[in-house]
């Protein structure tokens, strides 16, 4: 996994996570270990991954291959330079890995969409008529995306009080949303849609993503144009970016899509992934408790379909853009990806420990998402995304 780290007096640079260490790719490059590859080690002296990402997939694959070879036997390879190239995780500070130009948030978790529909439109079909025809999304706010570990300030905003009068104050319904964030790896020119068959070539890597949400603010403001202040106060991105090719062993067919999507969204290739996801919550002076377990298979729309749809009208994506999947919920209460669903909009407080319940987040709560893939032959663990609430 790639990330941006600093330590001691060393300025932020590109690192590759290896066990409990970060491999300093600038130093590795300066020592000549990347000789023969089409890159200047200076690309790893940058404070964001964008320049490296912009070199393109053939270079990413070559670097990844070289790192795999070097690290297969790292004690021999790096024996004489170990302390120059490896920095223990406990000594590093992680930074936002990419300069994010644009951020889009999809709504591809069908169980989440159905649950929200059941709560807020109880007498209607839980899914709106467009849901199975196109991957619904809104354009989000890139400036407030922060790296994992950044404290999250409870937002104030306008919402309806118990007498259904608009008031302004600290959100009483602060929530998380369990999502993955795709890091776009290649630009398409304005006016040139990305065909679904090419769409995965545009993904550099995948992160965990927390789309913090103030439900009371969101509910009052969102019609008719969608989320605004209920979402724009902060979103958290994991510090480590998993290269997209690392997901290959976990590729699976997605859910049956009925009706069959229109041709520009249709592909017979399996384009979903089997990754286990967990949400952990730790009250200010309490234990870390796992409160939800789910899987990325529950996404209705694939990454490729999101990209094909996003660009179908000619919209250009840029290197470093983030496309988040939308909340990933399973089909049972223990697998929901938000407190809105886990507490059913506050109606059923969630018991997380003997004397601890939650409807929405309290100050001091620390929320952590984890993700991993497991097959008989492969294992993959994402870098976590974490944030603690304060006022």
- Residues lying near Ca ion in the complex (CB under 5 A) are found at 105, 177, 211
Smallest distance from Ca ion to CB 300, Å: 14
Which SS3 state, helix, strand or coil, does residue 293 take? strand
Nearer to Ca ion, 43 or 100 (CB): 100
Nearer to Ca ion, 104 or 343 (CB): 104
Residue nearest to Ca ion (CB): 211
**DSSP string computed for 359-371:** SSPPTT-EEEEEE
Nearer to Ca ion, 86 or 107 (CB): 107
Smallest distance from Ca ion to CB 177, Å: 4
Query: Cβ-count burial of 97 within 10 angstroms (0-12 exposed, 13-18 middle, 19+ buried)?
Result: buried
Residues 6 or more apart whose Cβ sits within 8 Å of residue 121: none
Secondary structure letter of residue 221 according to DSSP: H
Q: Which two tokens stand for residue 235?
A: 């979103």
Q: Which two tokens stand for residue 183?
A: 């890091």
Nearer to Ca ion, 27 or 206 (CB): 206
Smallest distance from Ca ion to CB 381, Å: 23
N-term to C-term CA, the chain? 33
**Residue pair 368/208 in contact by the 8 Å Cβ criterion:** no
Secondary structure letter of residue 20 according to DSSP: T
Torsion of CA 111, 113, 116, 121, to 10 degrees: -120
Backbone phi and psi for residue 259, each to the nearest 5 degrees, phi listed first: -70, 160
Smallest distance from Ca ion to CB 188, Å: 24
Q: Which two tokens stand for residue 274?
A: 């089997």
Which SS3 state, helix, strand or coil, does residue 163 take? coil
Nearer to Ca ion, 212 or 250 (CB): 212
Burial readout 8-29 (b: 16 or more C-beta within 10 A, e: otherwise) = eeeebbbbbbbeebbbbbbbbb
Active-site residue, from 111, 112, 309, 310: 112
Nearer to Ca ion, 114 or 177 (CB): 177
Beta partners for residue 294, in sequence order: 277
Smallest distance from Ca ion to CB 176, Å: 10
Radius of gyration from C-alpha coordinates of the chain: 21
Smallest distance from Ca ion to CB 154, Å: 18
Instruction: Note if 112 is an active site residue.
Output: yes
Which residue numbers are catalytic?
Answer: 112
């Amino acid at each position: 996994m790639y990330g941006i780290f600093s330590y001691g007096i060393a300025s932020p640079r590109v690192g590759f996570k290896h066990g409990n260490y970060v491999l300093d790719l600038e130093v590795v490059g300066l020592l000549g270990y990347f000789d023969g590859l089409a890159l200047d080690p200076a690309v790893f002296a940058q404070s964001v991954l964008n320049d490296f990402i912009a070199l393109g997939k053939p270079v990413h694959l070559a670097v990844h291959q070289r790192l795999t070879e070097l690290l297969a036997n790292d004690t021999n390879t790096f024996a004489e330079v170990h302390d120059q190239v490896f920095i223990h995780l406990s000594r590093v500070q992680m930074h936002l890995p990419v300069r994010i130009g644009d951020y889009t948030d999809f709504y591809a978790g069908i169980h989440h969409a159905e649950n929200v529909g059941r709560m807020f439109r109880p007498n209607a079909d839980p899914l709106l008529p467009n849901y199975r025809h196109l991957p619904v999304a809104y354009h989000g706010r890139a400036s407030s995306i922060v790296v994992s570990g950044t404290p999250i300030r409870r937002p104030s905003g306008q919402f309806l009080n118990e007498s259904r009068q608009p008031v302004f104050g600290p959100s009483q319904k602060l929530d998380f949303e369990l999502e993955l964030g795709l890091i776009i790896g290649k630009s398409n020119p304005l006016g040139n849609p990305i065909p679904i068959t090419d769409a995965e070539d545009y993904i550099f890597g995948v992160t965990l993503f927390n789309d913090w949400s103030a439900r009371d603010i969101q509910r009052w403001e969102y019609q008719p144009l969608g989320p605004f202040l209920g979402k724009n106060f902060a979103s958290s991105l994991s510090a480590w970016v998993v290269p997209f090719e690392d997901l290959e062993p976990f590729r699976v067919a997605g859910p049956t899509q009925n009706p069959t999507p229109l041709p520009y969204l249709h592909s017979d290739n399996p384009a979903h992934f089997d990754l286990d996801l967990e949400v952990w919550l730790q009250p200010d002076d309490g234990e870390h408790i796992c409160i939800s377990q789910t899987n990325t298979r529950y996404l209705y729309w694939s990454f490729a379909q999101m990209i094909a749809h996003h660009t179908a009208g000619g919209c250009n994506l840029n290197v470093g853009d983030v496309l988040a999947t939308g909340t990933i919920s399973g089909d049972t209460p223990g697998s929901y990806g938000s407190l809105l669903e886990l507490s059913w909009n506050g109606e059923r407080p969630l018991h997380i420990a003997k004397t601890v319940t939650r409807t929405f987040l309290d100050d001091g709560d620390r929320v952590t998402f984890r993700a991993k893939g497991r097959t008989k032959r492969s294992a993959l663990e994402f870098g976590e995304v974490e944030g603690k609430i304060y006022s």
